[in-house]
Structure 1
Amino acid sequence: MVPLLVVALIVLILFGFGFLADILWWVAALVLIIWLIGFFVRPGGTGGPRGRWYRW
Structure 2
Amino acid sequence: MEQKKFGLIGAAGYIAPRHMKAIKDTNNDLLAAFDPYDGIGIMDSYFPKASFFCRV
Question: Which TM-score tier does this pair reach, normalised by the shorter chain?
Answer: under 0.3
- Greater per-residue strand proportion: 2
- Greater per-residue helix proportion: 1
Q: Which has the higher contact order (CA 8 A, sep 6+)?
A: 2
- Give the structure with higher Rg (CA): 1
